[in-house]
Chains A and B, each alone.
Chain A
């Protein structure tokens, strides 16, 4: 398996623009997590899904953030409109029920100018 695949690896956008981050989890994994990493706040869980259903979105910072998982092999995290304080590395991770290890993608480094 190729692991968790995220795209793009880097994104630079202007304030106010819409940004969409993408994630393909490992086949057969039924949990998918979105994290944000910054120097100030460390690693924060934004939202996670089980069998494509959002379970906990309490970490989503504002209504500008939304996440979807239309099927078992694809998820998106959208920021609209983006702001400079959204600049961070966004990670997607997946895991399988009963297997305690979570596998992370390489992340998307987002810069909002």
Chain B
């Protein structure tokens, strides 16, 4: 079945550090890929997405490139801020049944 694997957390970084959060997937067909973010006390919200191979999703300084050859969708940001502290979820949707499959999520803490 479809699955998403995220790197183990938590991750703690200093402000302005470079961020990479790894995500790999297993799916039939050609899924759409997503990163969702959950700020403390809130629900998940879409951060960025990519719908086909080699697409790059970007938002708020975050980027992720859909790599079909490595079945990956790693999230990167060049300079993190304290306000980026949150839980980040990688997800996929094959479109076959319209449900999103989420990874376990990873907690990012950015210290001043």
Binding site for B on A (CB under 8 A): 4, 31, 33, 42-43, 45, 48, 50, 55-56, 91, 93, 95, 97, 100-107
Contacts and interface: CB of A to CB of B under 8 A. Distances in A.
Contact of A104 (B43, B51, B97): B43
Q: Which of B44, B89, B104, B105 has the most CB of A within 10 A?
A: B44
Contact of A102 (B42, B100, B103, B104): B100
Q: Is the interface of A mostly helix, strand, loop or mixed?
A: strand
Q: Is the interface on chain B under 10, 10 to 19, 20 to 34, or 35 or more residues? A: 20 to 34
A69 B44 CA distance: 22
B44 A104 contact: yes
A50 B102 CA distance: 19
A97 B98 contact: yes
B98 A50 contact: yes
Contacts of B45: 103-104
Contacts of A103: 45
Contacts, number: 48
Interface string B34-47: 10000001111110
A55 B102 CA distance: 18
Contacts of A107: 42-43
Contacts of B43: 4, 91, 93, 104-107
B15 interface: no
Contacts of B104: 42-43
